[in-house]
Amino acid sequence: MHGPGSSGWLLVALCAATGAYCLLRMRSGVEEQRRAAGGEALMGFGMAAMAVPAAVFTPPAWAWPLWAVVFGAAGLHALWAARASARHLHHVVGAGAMVYMAVVMAAAPRGAHHGAAGTPALTAALLLYFTAYVLVTGARLVPVAAVAGGPGTGPGAGSGARWGDRPELARACRLSMGIAMVAMLLMM
């Protein structure tokens, strides 16, 4: 998506940090969380690579079709996983958005990686989806008023959970990737 320098580097940092945390989540004791974290790590690192400012690095012409194939395969894997759990459908949409952005970048004239537009209707639909996703996920992170002294409200509550097994951190990870996706789609 190769936006302006400072916003591009902020996206790179956000997505790379998210991808790194998702790698940590792959050490979870719960198999479903490990599988989801692997796909999210791929998405985070892929988004980080796409966000590198063009002034620093312009990928070779073959890179964009490669990204489309990699994220197409990730989307098919998520679609297969959606048979067991509908929440994998979000991964299908995310992988589809990455394929779409890679195809738009591949079709753009060489060196014109900013403002390559794509199909306005599809871009708008993806923007609406990811904006709604960010708002819903953000609302789920807002703490609910807990009853004083109730279970899980004291100091150190949840401190025994492993980093890969903390659902609020997984939601924050997904929220940051959703925000980054909105930013990348806006830069198209």
Dist. CA 13–CA 2, nearest whole Å? 14
pLDDT value, residue 159: 47
Dist. CA 39–CA 109, nearest whole Å? 30
Q: Residue 52 is encoded by which pair of tokens?
A: 């590198």
Give the tens place of pLDDT for each residue, 75-99.
999 999 889 888 889 999 999 999 9
Cα-only R_g, the chain: 18
Q: Enter the pTM of the model.
A: 0.82
Q: Residue for token digits 């753009």?
A: 108
Give the tens place of pLDDT for each residue, 167-178.
788 889 999 999
Give the tens place of pLDDT for each residue, 128-144.
999 999 999 999 888 76
**Nearest alpha carbon to residue 77 among 63, 91, 64:** 91
- The mean pLDDT value of the chain amounts to 84
- 71 versus 163: the higher-pLDDT residue is 71
Dist. CA 63–CA 68, nearest whole Å? 9
Do 7 and 183 touch, CB atoms closer than 8 A? yes
Do 51 and 67 touch, CB atoms closer than 8 A? no
Give the tens place of pLDDT for each residue, 2-48.
556 788 899 999 999 999 999 998 888 877 788 888 889 999 999 99
